Each structure stands twice: as structure tokens, then as C-alpha cells.
Amino acid sequence: MVAAAANGFATRFPCPIAEPSTSYSSLASGSRLRFGSRPFRIHSLVSGRRLSSSNLNPSCLVGDSDKNSIQSGAVESMALSVSALELLKTSAAERYTKEKSSIVIVGLNVHTAPVEIREKVNIPESQWPQAINELCALNHIEEAAVLSTCNRIEIYVKALSQHRGVKEVTEWMSKTSGVPVSELCKHRILLYNKDATQHLFEVASGLDSLVLGEGQILAQVKQVVKVGQGVPGFGSEIGGLFKHAITAGKRVRTETNIASGSVSVSSAAVELALLKLQEPSYANARVLVVGAGKMGKLLIKHLIAKGCEKMVVVNKSEEKVAAIREEFEDVEIIYRPVSELLSSASDADLVFTCTASEAPLLFKEQVKTFPPVRREIKSRLFIDISVPRNVDSSVSDLETARVYDVDDLKEVVSANMEDRLRKAMEAQSIIEEELSKFEAWKDSRETVPTIKKFRAYVERIRAAEVEKCLSKFGDNISKKEKQAIYDLSMGIVKKLLHGPMEHLRCDGSDGRSLNEVLENMRALNRMFDLHTETSVLEQKIRTKLERSQK
């Protein structure tokens, strides 16, 4: 039954910008199960390109043998096209406003990109606000958020133009990471609007994790909102998207058994180490844990649950290690400073690394000088669940060492795929409900500009009429009387606005449909000629264009 249901799930693939005709079979290595009912659509960005001034060079359009014959004609043609080019530039804002703004995800994750690529594109949490500011400085990006974990780096944006936004974000990712655009396009995911929303809801629910139902990802989604507070580019729509995702994630965890018996990345790492040890036991293994943050603490808990009674923990400060030691008084937890990392690693049979370091901590030249491990262990194990990786990839070249990273955890979690799919199906109805709520909330926001315009329109009339009234009194009016006139005008306006404002809101409390609300909005626009004012979207695009031309 579950296998049959699995066949109905759509498969999501990365979307190469320059290869819209790429076959599904050629992308199979980047595919992953889609737990939702909505398939991933491959958008052909190439066919959507607009003509730019760089495209008008005749040498780009003809072969070398024809260049001489059209040279004089090309000069005349270019001269005649100057006015057309100027018109193209000046009408840019009008052309762009024909596209509605879109929610877009551009990213890489454990299903589509190897850790070698993800670690280069990874953005530390401390740099998220700066990244949001840089993204929103791009011409077609209005709002942005960054979700960067050991399993994914995903950029969420509200793009004023879908195709241009994707291009700008991809180029920004390439510039900040040093990974060529062509390489990013091989591994990235592109999701738009409802697909993007559903993806984030699945992420927050643990359905998109390497380890189904793992709880740490919901905390990481919450952290995106926490970090984004106060950052101008973390706007109301992207912020609302993440807040709705948190609600969906909480509901999935409380209303289904998705988390029962589930494992985390840390527990999967502990299981992987047991599989690789000659003796599947921690009783005699000399264990080192590098890092005592959230991931390190989880590692230590799972090691203890699997019977590890003694370990060394290397960390910048002893405070966190001491707190863990107090929690597990029956286990011998020995603290070592970072300065003793190499000596501690050389004494260990099994090394777990899970720090936020942006550079490797252990290199081949260092590890090859370590003394051999005990005969029954055979080779030293390095389980590196950090992104970027803490153990340099060259260490795996040594015969005395075996290195495993987060991508190797698939070996642990793939064994129970049938159970994973069954649990995922339990969560889908909740995700669909929350998806509908978010879409209704987002659609209802279309009335916000009209509400603001109407309020401003009425306020202009009120202020003008009050001023006209006061001018008739001249100086023969007291401050108290002025206040009374002002209060009267405000009271009248408030009562008159109440009805129209109520009919422009769609919060689901009064049974009013979205279509009815939107029709009310259009009627108000017609009656008071509000639509003749410059649209909010057009004004935003004009501002972006003016800034880019300075």
C-alpha cells in the first residue's frame, strides 16, 4: 500500500537555467521524493529572456563571413534603433509591472547537492542580516530570508520579477561563494509561489529532512524569524510565510506520530559510527566530541543513550561542557580546550566533529602523524556532521583514517523508507490545510494598498474641510473649540470608514469569501478613482531602477 502511494508522489528535480530541455533521466541523481501532491514545475528561463542592448550587436547575430557585407547597414540600423532603445529604457518600469511579485526559493540541499558544494555556499547565522540586506539591494528583490543548516542553504525572496529575481539571486550566490553559476544550476532547486510555500511547510515539519521528523529543523526555522526581526528586508510577506510554516511544523508534530521513534542528524551520526566500528559498542571505544553547542549536546546525549560512559569534549569554553556534565553525573565527561584538539584527537579511536568553524580543524598532514589506534579498531574514525566540514576531505586519503560526513548518514536513514513514507502521508492533510490558510492570508493582502489609498483619500478631504471651517472663525476660536472640531471630524471619518474597511478584510471570521473581498476592492477603486494613483509595485520598481542607474 505504501509502495503504491509512493509511486504517486511527484519527483522534484533541480532546474538548470541553461538546459530547459534536460531529460528527467539525466537528472535522476538529483531527484528526491516529493511528499506533497503538487509536482515541481520546470520553468524555462531561457525562453523568457528579454532583449537587452547587449543582444543588439550584429556580431552576435551573424557569422564571420557575413560581417563585412552588413557592416554599413548595421551602422545605419544601430543609429535608427537609438530612439527605440531609449524608449525601451524609459518604459522599463511599465513593462515590469505586468508581472506579479512572486515568492521564490533558490537553494541547494542534501537531496540535490553534495556537501562539497553546500559548504561553499553556506551562510553562517551571524551573516544572515547582511545577506538579507544585500539580496534586497538587488533590482528585483523586495524581501528576503536565509535558511542555512548542515543539510540545506535556501534563499527565500519576494521577487518583483520572477525570472529576473532568480537570475539575480543565483548570481549573488555565485559571487559570495565562488561557485560558478553553471555549477550552481546543476544542483539548485527553484520553487515558486505555492510550491515554495509547501516546500517550506514540509521543511518545518521535518518531511524534507534527511532524517524524517527530526526536531532541530523547526528550531532553525524559528531562528530565521528571530534573526530577521528588525532587518528591513525581512518583510511582512516573507515573515508571514515563515510564521505560517512554524505553525504547520508545530501542528504536524503534535497531531501526528511523525516524531515518534524519529532520529536526528546527531543520533544518525551515533548510529553510523556503531555500524563502522569493528565491535558495535561504545564500551571500549575512546571517544572525542569536538564542539559542545546544540549539535554537540545532542551527540553527547545519544552517545550516552548508546552506552558510552566516558568521553573527551573539546570546546572553546568549559562552561557549556560543565553544564552537560552536571546533567549526566554518571558519565565521565572530560573537558579539553581547543589548544589541545590535536593531542586529544591523536588519543581517540572515534572523533565526532560538530562546530560552526568556517575552516577545517583537522588536516591530512596532522592526522598522519597520529599514533595508530588499537588493533581491534583497525583505523581511526572521523564522523563530521559540520557544514562547512571540520575535517579536511584529504584526510580520507590516509589508510589509517576513515572519514564520514553528513551525506553518509543516508546509509542509516534509508533502511526504514517505508515507515518514513507512511508517517509523511499522515502529515500531508495538515500541511494542505495550513497551505490554504497562508494562500488566503496572502491573497487578502491585495486589499492593503487600496485600504491605505482610501484612508489617505478620506484624510485629505477631512483635513481640507477642517482647515476651511477654522479659517471662517479667524482668531475668534479657542484651542478647546479647535480640538472639538478636530475630534468631530475624526469621529465622522472613523464611522464612515468602518463599513468599507470591514468589507475589505478577509480573515475568515465572518465567512466572507476572498472573491467577494476582491470585488469590493475593485468597486472602491472605481468609485473613488483610486486605481489612477501609481501602484505600490510600480513605485517600488521605479525606485529600484533609479537607484541602479545612479
Q: What pLDDT sits at residue 167?
A: 96
Q: How many CA atoms lie within 13 A of 126 on its CB side?
A: 3
Task: Indicate the class that CATH gives domain 98-255.
Answer: alpha beta
Of the given ranges (243-247, 287-291, 372-376, 433-437), which has the lowest mean pLDDT?
A: 372-376
Residue 150 falls in the annotated catalytic set:
yes
Closest CA to 215 of 108, 274, 126, 295: 295
The domain locations on the chain are 98-255, 265-408, 447-549
Active-site entry in 15, 136, 150, 506: 150
Task: Indicate the class that CATH gives domain 265-408.
Answer: alpha beta
- For CA atoms 262, 267, 272, 276, the dihedral sign is negative
Of the given ranges (389-393, 447-451, 466-470), which has the lowest mean pLDDT?
A: 447-451
Percent of the chain with pLDDT over 90: 49
Q: What is the dihedral of CA 108, 114, 120, 125, to 10 degrees?
A: 60
pLDDT at 47 over 70: no
Interatomic CA distance for residues 523 and 543, integer angstroms: 29
Please tell me which residue, 194 or 96, carries the higher pLDDT value: 194
Which residue in this structure is represented by grid cell 511582512? 236
98-255 and 265-408 agree in CATH topology: no
Which tens digits make up the pLDDT trace of 162-214? 999 999 999 999 999 999 999 999 999 999 999 999 999 999 999 998 888 88
Q: What is the dihedral of CA 170, 173, 174, 180, to 10 degrees?
A: -60
